[in-house]
Amino acid sequence: MSTFAHLFEPLQIRGKRLKNRIMSSGHDTSMPTDNLVNERLVAYHRARAEGGVGLIVLQVAGVHDSARYTSHVLMATDDACIVGYRQLAETCHAHGTLVLSQVFHPGREIMESSDGLLAVAYSASAVPNERFRVMPRALDQAMIDEIVAGYAAAARRLHLAGIDGVEVVASHGYLPAQFINPRVNRRTDGYNGELEQRLRFVREVIGAVRAATADDFIIGLRISADERDAEGLTEDESLAAVKMLQAELDYVHIVAGTSASLGGAVHIVPPMAIEAAYLVREAGTFKAQLDIPLFVTGRINQPQEAELILARGQADVCGMTRALICDPQMPNKTRNDQVEDVRACIACNQACIGHFHKGLPISCIQHPETGRELQFGTLQPALARKRVMIAGGGPAGMKAAAVAAARGHEVTLYEAGSQLGGQVLLAHLLPRRAEFGGASTNLQREMQLAGVKVVRNTRVDRAVVKREQPDLVIVATGAEPYWPAFERGGELQVVDAWQILRGEVKPGRSVLVVDWRCDWIGPGIAERLVREGHQVQLAVNGTHCGESLPLYVRDQMAGELHKLGIPITPYARLYGCDDTSVYLQHTASGEPMIFENIDTLVLCQGHQPVDTLAAELQGLVEVKRIGDCLAPRTVEEAVYDGLKVAWSL
């Protein structure tokens, strides 16, 4: 029997066949233009269909003009949408993949508008949203009827386009959940009261969609099993709701969290600090009490995890969205017993949901081809084979090596140390960042499969290049900690983050961490030292801790620091230190901020390039710089640099 017998067992839903139990769940991509499907979005989903996924649930389709919760949301409110959806359906169907679309109204959960003005938001009642600070209008009966009709009209258009069904989004505190939730729904008409009355809106939507489509059109419901917020839906309430609705549905899809609060929103795209497959208990509870298929999504990033969930009977389909963003070929690799070749998602959230929150098309730090399928979707063989030397075994160098070798070049990568990975080797040592090490493991496997020769413990210099005579040297020598100029007197211990992580120094009892980057390094160092027994304060040169991080990573981290009682001072610029005091300057007022009785000052002040090799090789060979030696940035830019330079050869 196959190791993944349950994962690749077909499933019949309303007469339609899922070829396997792997789902790409609905997620915004920021790819649409003019709120319509375009070639970029089609190419993105084509890659996942070609990769073998059984079910693609498309991102939300707005059902009413008031459903525009972002400026780039897909809209299904006009027949103009049908052509694009038809192209999407036909593209995915050609690979045996079933395609559903989410149908959606956010209610009060409005993130932005297309013109920068605050939108008029609507909800079951005039109860404000905490996260976006939106005060909605209570829907009147005429507009409720209009929105219900909008769901039906949108579903009809999707059906005409050849989409196999729809998923009504009642998750994450969106409009249907606002009606179901007794703490948000404070109406005095027939839409409030006992659960039966609070389900009236959802029932009207499901009934209207069913009436507007065909008998074989799938209708599912996505709902948060628990909104993870004091004012949100509880597990008991959500379970009771779907039990009452299941006779009208073809499946239920559970997730967690709510858009309405910062803490609840973390679960929309849970970061690596949250354990993998963390909703299996809730899935098992729902599955045991439902007579229709149960789908679950919640950081299921490995096929082994999905197989176990299915084998235990805790769910019928597993949402593996970020796993498919990271490796579109994951289903095919798994089916072909190539699990070791799967590029595992590390839940960093940096280029997927992180891009979305910036209004940019999503991608992946490990697989920058994602979202750029029209440019990098098909690997192009090299026109002429070159001997390529790569100096540096960090993410930039490894990606360049893997792609260049896959294109047919003869590639040798040299690493000065004994281990590959560059700064990833340090990043994974921080609290709750262990999975970050997977970025190095995955790239090493890609190099191995592409046939890259790796030479360790060898630093590239002019003599090495003269001896090997490559056609090209790609310099990926990385960066080192930046120590800014500051007034320094006395004997206060001053160290940098790398020294802490490598165990090269022994900090004193009272520690001040000064964080210029406002990313995860400073907070991670602070948390690590607190857990080791030090008294730690954190000063950040920004408006708040984690300012440059993806929102859900930042908010989860902020919660942990608060639990640990770590004092955080914002607007803080390093000025100087003496024997026991550190002097900072408020970046807005210019006034001094003095920290006394400090034993150790830890610098998290960014990085500076290690960039001497290129000048040393001048006149000898063609040189290209990539990654941090070009400009210190993040892993995402390093890997993308590696991809681009390899494609240019």
Strand extents, DSSP E, 225-381: 251-255, 294-297, 317-319
What pLDDT, on a 0 to 100 scale, did the predictor assign at position 113?
Answer: 81
pTM tops 0.95? yes
| Mean pLDDT score of the chain | 97
- Beta pairing class for 479-481 and 607-609: antiparallel
Mean pLDDT across the stretch 282-286? 98
Around 341, how many Cα atoms within 13 Å sit in the side-chain half-sphere?
Answer: 15
302, pLDDT greater than 80:
yes
Both tokens of residue 287?
């599955």
CA distance 376 to 159: 32
The rounded radius of gyration (Å) of the Cα atoms in the chain is 26
Protein fold of 379-480+612-648: Rossmann fold (3.40.50)
CA distance 235 to 286: 9
Mean pLDDT across the stretch 528-546? 98
Among candidate residues 605, 604, 526, the one with its CA nearest the CA of residue 560: 526
**Per-residue model confidence as pLDDT tens digits over 243-279:** 999 999 999 999 999 999 999 999 999 999 999 999 9
What pLDDT, on a 0 to 100 scale, did the predictor assign at position 1?
Answer: 45
What pLDDT, on a 0 to 100 scale, did the predictor assign at position 112?
Answer: 86
322: helix, strand or coil? helix
Angstrom distances, CA of residue 531 to CA of 199, 544, 595:
47, 22, 21
With cut-offs at 50, 70 and 90, classify the pLDDT of residue 114. Answer: confident
**Residue 581: which H helix or E strand, with range?**
none
* Percent over 70 (pLDDT), the chain: 100
Class of domain 11-375: alpha beta
**Per-residue model confidence as pLDDT tens digits over 580-623:** 999 999 999 999 999 999 999 999 999 999 999 999 999 999 99
> Helices in 58-120 by DSSP H: which ranges?
82-93
What pLDDT, on a 0 to 100 scale, did the predictor assign at position 115?
Answer: 84
Among candidate residues 340, 298, 347, the one with its CA nearest the CA of residue 325: 347
Among candidate residues 317, 195, 202, 300, the one with its CA nearest the CA of residue 251: 317
Mean pLDDT across the stretch 181-195? 97
DSSP structural state of residue 121: P
Protein fold of 487-605: FAD/NAD(P)-binding domain (3.50.50)
With cut-offs at 50, 70 and 90, classify the pLDDT of residue 285. Answer: very high
**Per-residue model confidence as pLDDT tens digits over 436-465:** 999 999 999 999 999 999 999 999 999 999
Residues with Cβ within 8 Å of 401's Cβ and at least 6 positions away in sequence, in order, are: 388, 390, 411, 413, 447, 450, 452, 642, 646
CA distance 449 to 341: 8
648, pLDDT greater than 60:
yes
Domain ranges of the chain: 11-375, 379-480+612-648, 487-605
**Per-residue model confidence as pLDDT tens digits over 53-92:** 999 999 999 999 999 999 899 999 999 999 999 999 999 9
487: helix, strand or coil? strand
Mean pLDDT across the stretch 281-298? 98
**Per-residue model confidence as pLDDT tens digits over 558-572:** 999 999 999 999 999
CA distance 61 to 329: 26
